[in-house]
Amino acid sequence: MSAAAAPTPVRKLRVATVSLGGCFGCHMSLLDIDERLFELIEKVEFDRSPLTDIKTVGPCDIGLVEGGLCNAENVEVLRAFRAHCKVLVAVGACAITGGLPALRNHLDVGDILQSVYARVPDDPELPLPLNRVLPIHEVVQIDVALPGCPPPADAFWQLLQDLIAGRAPQHLPGLIRYD
Amino acid sequence: MDTRPLETAAEPGGLRRIAIDPLSRVEGHGKVTLLLDDDNRVRQARLHIVEFRGFEKFIEGRPYWEVPVMVQRLCGICPVSHHLAASKALDRVVGGWPVPPAAERIRRLMHYGQIVQSHALHFFHLASPDLLFGFDAEATRRNIVAVAGAFPDAARQGVMLRKFGQEVIRITSGKRVHGTGSIPGGMNRAVDAHERDALRAELPQVLAWAQDAVELARRLHDNLPPRYADFADTPAAMMSLVGRDGAMELYDGVLRVREADGRIAIDGFDDQHYGELIGEAVKPWTYMKFPYRRSLGPDAGWYRVGPLARVQNCDFIPTPRAEAARQAFVAAHGGRPVHAVLATHRARMIELLHGVETVAALLDDPLILGGPLQAEGPRRPSGIGIIEAPRGTLIHEYDVGDDDLVTRCNLIVSTTHNNQAMNEAVRAVALRYLDGETITEGLLNHIEVAIRAYDPCLSCATHALGQMPLAVSLRAADGRVLDHVLRSSTGELLRDAPAHDAEAAQ
Ligand code: SF4
């Protein structure tokens, strides 16, 4: 199935992905490119991602960020992504607006914890929840936004094709969704 | 092996902390912390779930008809489970239970499609690198990309099986992730005949792949090095829905609990009374609760859910190929209950095969193309919906006021049921493989291998800041203070207003 003795390809783009306060649906939609995944990995390699065992982000060409900021660790991870990724993409409604988890913003986080757990989990190993769920552009600059909940697989595909080809991402009608 | 003392070290002071953070190749975010003494003896091992999103709370006050669509955002990998569990609960609220046969068939089709896609994703995309390359293979190789390089056929089968399952979800709900097909009282769409035919045409190939997957999981398990024969063997009671006739049943049934030794403890239990069966305990070091059987209490009452529990809890699987595979599984273990967590992979692939067979039967059913899709009846103030999600029993419960707004919501998700079981597995592995050793990355991955077998869905949140700061302020790019939190010496979280103001004034 693989072509024999293909010429050495140009350097693969390095892509990191992360889910902050998201549901992994955006990652699932990325995987919904189905068998095009095999074509993609000819051109890109993955750095930190839920799909790999690389646990800290290194220098990358592209960072795909799913989810908004729910706790202090989300913020740290996001800043590390910004520092290491040339192009940072806010993927999906949660990263762009806070999304559904931001529905907790009209409630007091202490009250919610109290009513859900009665005895509030407070171990130092647990990250501090933020008072409000924030979109990621509140804290770092983002370069591209890919809307949708989740963005369609074809939108991921188009974006990655554009970035691999060194083009500015085109937002094709029909791939931009606001659900 | 008594692992319980490892939950909390007697003298945590002076111990060395090692964290596996974040857990990778699982859905969502969690971490494991180990405390070791000077001789590398493990003194404490914990799986922490750092997720906290408060869904149960902010669903209060929302109109009930929004709920089946909202709750999908709990999890993008098994959104259909939440979509359908919420729908089943709200069917009761709108007096629409049982839903008309056509709606029931289409929901089942969606659900079994999800079993196929989620199980394929977990086995091939997430877990298979450990089994194909070894638990301590280099970290950079342990991923689906390396599997695609070394085992292209397996990688391709995994991707195509997942695609098939996702397409079943799409033709029943309009979208592969977060569709909108199911509503309180039924469905809002039927299946299009052309789309059905397109999927039917693929069935012979998909069935063959699914059959191969069962065989691959068996082979990989049988070929494990002998030192892993009893890997994370943690005897536990098993809980799942089953059919009234004892059949494997993933969409709707009665609760059955089997003791670790294989005896049936509780059977035919009405899911609407789950609250009498199960309680939930809270521990301060994790956001995930610990469910337990009320009759046994929080310490002894824990149990396991998911494929390993289900395949052994049912009396038979009502599709022929998967039933043959189940019988082979039982025979391979001499008919004794199996508690080695790696056997979960084989059980999971047996369920995947059952999923494909069930989808095949439903695609042949003319009812999925239409008929009455919604039922109505006298309103009720509350409803419970229980479903067997890919990872195990999923419980949704709602109270709804006369104004149609949700007044209370309780969710017990599959992974939560397995909280204690996963913690036991972590401790068993830590004691058996890490205790007294020089800790390497490969050894740490052994712990993740045990957690991955449960295919946990930890969704959301991330990893530690190293030393936990006492105060955190979050600033916008322009320097504005967006949030400021303090952790008091007693561990309480405080929103410190004076500090916030002082920061803001700077
Ligand atoms: S945007 Fe939607 S699919 Fe993506 S993480 Fe948020 S809820 Fe999930």
Beta bridge partners of B383: B398
Ligand 1 site, CB within 6 A: A 22-23, 25-26, 66-67, 92-94, 99-100, 149-150; B 73, 76, 177
* Contacting residues of B for A32, CB less than 8 Å apart: 163, 166, 176-177
**Are residues B54 and A109, on separate chains, in Cβ contact within 8 Å?**
yes
Of the candidates B155, B477, B482, which has its C-beta nearest A140's C-beta? B477
User: What confidence score (pLDDT) does residue B342 get?
Assistant: 94
A chain contacts of residue B57, beta-carbon cutoff 8 Å: 104, 107, 112, 115-116
Which pLDDT score is estimated for B365?
A: 98
pLDDT of residue A44: 96
**CB-closest option in A54, A99, A101 to B139:** A54
Task: Supply B251's token pair.
Answer: 């969409």
Q: Is residue A94 part of a domain?
A: yes
Q: What's the rounded mean pLDDT across residues B286-314?
A: 93
A26, A28, A30, A69: which to mutate for ligand 1, most atoms within 8 A of CB? A26
B50–A71: do the CB atoms touch at under 8 Å? yes
Q: How far is CA A76 from the centre of its chain?
A: 14
Tell me if chain B has a CB within 8 Å of the CB of A143: no
Question: Does residue A177 lie within any of the structural domains?
Answer: no
Q: What does the pLDDT read at residue B461?
A: 25
Between CA A143 and CA B478 the distance in angstroms is 17
With the C-alpha atoms ordered B350, B352, B356, B358, is the resulting torsion angle positive or negative?
positive
Q: Is pLDDT above 90 for A43?
A: yes
Comparing CB atoms, the residue among A77, A99, A150 nearest residue B177 is: A150
Task: Output the pLDDT for position B503.
Answer: 38
pLDDT interval class at B218 (50, 70, 90)? very high
Query: B324 CB contacts (<8 Å, ≥6 apart)?
Result: none
Q: For residues B203 and B212, what is the distance between their CA atoms, to the nearest angstrom?
A: 14
Q: Worst-scoring range by mean pLDDT, A158-167, B63-72, B277-286?
A: B277-286
Mutation test residue for ligand 1: of A18, A30, A66, the one with most atoms within 8 Å of CB:
A66
**Number of compact structural domains in chain A:** 1
Helices (H) and strands (E) in chain B, counts: 17, 17
Residues of A within 8 A of B477 (CB-CB) are 138-141
Measure A22 CA to ligand 1 centroid, in angstroms.
5
Q: Which of A29, A51, A121 sits opposite B284 (nearest CB)?
A: A121
- The answer, yes or no, to whether residue B105 has pLDDT greater than 90, is yes
Instruction: Report yes or no on A6 lying in a domain.
Output: no
To the nearest whole number, what is the mean pLDDT of chain B?
A: 88
**What does the pLDDT read at residue B1?**
59
Q: Inspect the interface and report whether the beta carbons of A73 and B48 lie closer than 8 Å.
A: no
Per-residue pLDDT reduced to its tens digit, B355-389 = 999 999 999 999 999 999 999 999 999 999 999 99
Question: How far, in Å, from the CA of B365 to the mean position of ligand 1?
Answer: 33
**Residue B471, pLDDT score:** 38
pLDDT in tens, B328-342: 999 999 999 999 999
Residues 25-84 of A with CB under 8 A from B: 25-29, 31-32, 34-35, 37-38, 41, 45-46, 50-55, 67, 69-77
pLDDT confidence of residue B28: 72
pLDDT bin (cut points 50, 70, 90) of residue B478 is low
Task: Give the nearest partner residue to A23 out of B155, B459, B491, using CB atoms.
Answer: B459
Q: What is the 8-class DSSP label of residue A170?
A: P
The fold of B55-420 is Cytochrome-c3 Hydrogenase; chain B (1.10.645)
Is residue A3 included in any domain, yes or no?
no
Q: Are B115 and B170 in contact (CB under 8 A)?
A: no
pLDDT at B286: 79
Is the confidence at residue B287, as pLDDT, over 80? no
Within a domain: A62: yes
CATH value at residue A62 = 3.40.50.700
Mean pLDDT of all residues in B151-161:
97
Spatial CA neighbour of B104 closest among B115, B116, B112: B112
B23 burial type by CB count under 10 A (0-12 exposed, 13-18 middle, 19+ buried):
buried
Size of interface A-B (CB pairs under 8 A): 251
Q: How many CB atoms lie within 10 A of CB B193?
A: 12
A27 neighbourhood in chain B, CB within 8 Å: 76
A133-166 per-position pLDDT tens digit:
999 999 999 999 999 999 999 999 999 999 999 9
CA of B371 to the centre of ligand 1 (A): 33
Give residue A108 CA to ligand 1 midpoint distance, Å. 23
Residue B438 pLDDT > 50, yes or no? yes
**What residues contact B235, with CB distance under 8 A and at least 6 apart?**
B260, B261, B337, B339
For residue B438, the 8-state DSSP code is P
Question: Is A4 domain-assigned?
Answer: no
Q: How far is the CA of A58 from the centre of ligand 1 (A)?
A: 25
ipTM metric: 0.92
Mean pLDDT of the B102-126 span: 97
Chain B residue with Cα closest to A107: B58
State the DSSP code for B33. E
When scoring A1, A23, A143 by the number of chain B Cβ atoms within 10 A, the one with the most, hence best to mutate, is: A23
Parse chain B into domains and list their residue ranges: 55-420, 472-506
pLDDT of residue B476: 56
Residue of B nearest to A120 (CA): B284
Confidence bin at A9 (pLDDT 50/70/90): low
Q: If you measure from the C-alpha of residue B443 to the centroid of ligand 1, how many angstroms do you get, rounded to a whole number?
A: 34
Asked if the model's pLDDT at residue B100 lies above 60, the reply is yes
A26 alpha carbon – ligand 1 mean position (Å): 6
Cβ <8 Å between B493 and A120: yes
Distance CA B48, CA B286 (A): 5
Instruction: Taking residues A71-97, report their average pLDDT.
Output: 95
What confidence category does residue B463 fall into, taking pLDDT thresholds of 50, 70 and 90? Answer: very low
Question: Which chain A residue shows the shortest CA-CA distance from B138?
Answer: A53
The verdict on whether omega for the bond into residue B225 sits within 30 degrees of 0, i.e. cis, is no
> What gap in Å lies between CA B382 and CA B308, rounded to an integer?
32
**Token couple for B234:** 């943690």
Ligand 1, atom 5, residue with closest C-alpha? A22
Distance CA B493, CA A121 (A): 10
- Supply the pLDDT for residue B460: 25
- A56 within a domain of the structure (yes/no): yes
CB of A39 within 8 A of CB of A6? no
- Residue positions counted in chain B: 506
For residues B229 and B348, give the distance between their C-alpha atoms in angstroms, rounded to a whole number: 18
Which pLDDT belongs to residue B469? 29
Share of chain B above pLDDT 70, in %: 89
The string of pLDDT tens digits covering residues A105-121 is 888 877 777 777 776 67
Q: Which two tokens stand for residue B169?
A: 């979800």
Task: Give chain A positions within 8 Å (CB) of B284.
Answer: 119-123
Residue with structure tokens 């990688």? B155
Average pLDDT for B446-473? 56
Q: For position B345, what pLDDT does the model report?
A: 96
Chain A 95-114, residues with CB within 8 Å of chain B CB atoms: 99-101, 103-104, 106-107, 109-110, 112-113
By CB atoms closer than 10 A (0-12, 13-18, 19+), residue A17 is buried
For residue B408, the CA-to-ligand 1 centroid distance in Å is: 24
Could you tell me which chain B residue has the CA closest to the CA of A43? B145
Rounded Cα distance, A85 and A57, in Å: 9
β-partners of residue A144 are A89
Answer yes or no: is pLDDT of B5 > 90.
no
Given an 8 Å threshold on Cβ–Cβ distance, is B461 in contact with A127? yes
From B148-152, B200-204, B225-229, B489-493, the region with the lowest mean pLDDT: B489-493
Q: Do A130 and B462 meet the contact criterion of CB atoms below 8 Å apart?
A: no
Residue range of the domain that includes A120: 13-164
Pairwise CB contact (< 8 Å): B27 & A37: no
Query: What pLDDT is stored for residue B488 in this prediction?
Result: 36
β-pairing, B392-400 vs B406-412, is: antiparallel
How many A from CA of A67 to the centre of ligand 1? 7
- Closest ligand 1 atom to residue A93 Cα is 1
- pLDDT classification of B187: cutoffs 50, 70, 90: very high
From chain A, pick out residues whose CB is under 8 angstroms from the CB of B472. 72, 128
| Nearest-angstrom CA–CA distance, B139 and B17 | 21
Distance from the A108 Cα atom to the nearest Cα atom in chain B, whole angstroms: 10
